[in-house]
Amino acid sequence: MKLKRSNKEPEGSIALAEAEALQQKGEKKRGQEAIGILQQASARFRDAISMGLPSEDELHDARFGSAWCLALCAEATKAAADALPDHLISRKKDVEAKHVALRLYSQAVAEYKQVLDSYGKVRSDAAVNAGNALCAVAELLVSSNSHGSRSTLTEVCTAEVQAYEEARHLYQSALTRTGYEDSNNQGCSTSRSVDEEGEQDADTWCNLADCLMSYAQLLTDRKASLPQERQGEAAALCQAALQAYEQACAVSDSSHGDDLPGLLCNWGSGLIAAALMTEPPRIELLHQAISQLQHSASFSRADTAPLNRLGDAWVHLAELAEAAMVHEEAKLMFTKALEEGYGRALAINRMDPEALDRELSPLVEALVVLALSVF
């Protein structure tokens, strides 16, 4: 007697296909509509897992998809709260939105860490995305705790430190992985750790750099409460971050879709942050930032970010010159901030919020410096 073979597709596979369709639909929406659809997609991915999937690859794809949707929900939740009109903004609503986003990011991290490769380790793309979510968690915690009265590292920063530490570990594990994993990325931009020829991923290096710089900033802000044995950590993290930015640009490859102008802009922003973490600020790092930001802006894209950062760097140099009573030099640098930075950004977009917000300040300061130089 022959057994009749069923051609019916497994229920789990059907649910997986439905989840992927919902994910794609949700990614095209905004605000609460996007959140609702992405939550449905994440739930459907989990349904697919509970129903059973015919292969390990599909199982990990479902876990990845669920995590990806949860992280998008967290981002959309933050964006929706930030977009509220002034008359609807309240401390309570802000706290509630951050709480929801933290929960969603944490769930995403847990699910990403279940996406394994053939060696039983967290798959490279999942490790990178989990690191991104953990950095978002740390930023939310820092923002939330900045309103509190606690001030010591132990009281305020334990969760943030843990998030940055785990994110750093995940990024580094992705960068040091041997071999290349070609996986279904569920419609998102995943990061390769090492490709077939062993070339490391620029975006992951940049993510690591951003993580280390934010971690360094956290420790710098809490330096007074750090124990003696941790006093040098911020400087070491800062240096490691700058090396990671440099490495990101060094391995950038446009054939892989890498965005060198964007990487240079991030490097320049990191150099500015590093310069301001010391007292007095490190002038040579501000000049290095200007060099990288000018390089980024030279690609002639309609991107205001490097121009605004360039304006920031010139303003910081001008303020240092002003503090040193070198008024003519300060005036020249304020002028450069306007002409090379914010003014060029406004030429691209007259309504650019960052340029509009910054343009008046250096203009006023330049006039003050001019007045002081006269007297």
Structural domain boundaries of the chain?
Answer: 10-80, 116-180+193-251, 259-375
Pick from 213, 66, 76, 194: nearest CA to 130:
66
CA 126 to chain centroid, in Å, comes to 16
- Rounded to 10°, the helix 56-82/124-145 angle is 30
pLDDT (tens place) for every residue of the chain, 375 residues total = 444 444 567 888 999 999 999 999 999 988 889 999 999 999 999 999 999 999 999 999 999 999 999 999 999 998 888 777 777 777 788 888 899 999 999 999 999 999 998 888 999 999 999 999 999 999 999 887 765 444 444 444 689 999 999 999 999 999 987 443 443 343 333 344 444 333 468 999 999 999 999 999 999 988 877 777 788 899 999 999 999 999 999 999 888 889 999 999 999 999 999 999 988 889 999 999 999 999 999 997 788 899 999 999 999 999 999 888 888 899 999 999 988 998 888 888 876 666 556 655 555 455 444 444 544
Asked whether 296 and 288 are in contact (CB, 8 A), the reply is: no
For residues 185-213, one letter each, b for 16 or more C-beta atoms within 10 angstroms of the residue's C-beta and e for the rest, the string is bbebebbbbbeeeeebbbbbbbbbbbbbb
Q: 257: buried, middle or exposed (CB in 10 Å: 19+, 13-18, 0-12)?
A: exposed
Encoding tokens for residue 268?
């320049």
Task: Give the whole-angstrom CA distance, residue 119 versus residue 20.
Answer: 26
CATH architecture of the domain 259-375 equals: Alpha Horseshoe (1.25)
Prior bond to 10 cis, omega within 30? no
Task: Give the whole-angstrom CA distance, residue 110 versus residue 59.
Answer: 15
Asked whether 240 and 205 are in contact (CB, 8 A), the reply is: no
Q: Give the residue carrying structure tokens 């920063």.
A: 157
Encoding tokens for residue 28?
């095209």
Task: Give the whole-angstrom CA distance, residue 247 versus residue 242.
Answer: 9
Residues contacting 115, CB < 8 A, separation 6+: 60, 63, 64, 67, 122, 123, 125, 126
Catalogue the long-range contacts made by 81-88 (C-beta closer than 8 Å, 24 or more residues apart): 83/31
Q: Is the pTM of this model over 0.85?
A: no
Helix (H, G, I), strand (E, B) or coil at 194: strand
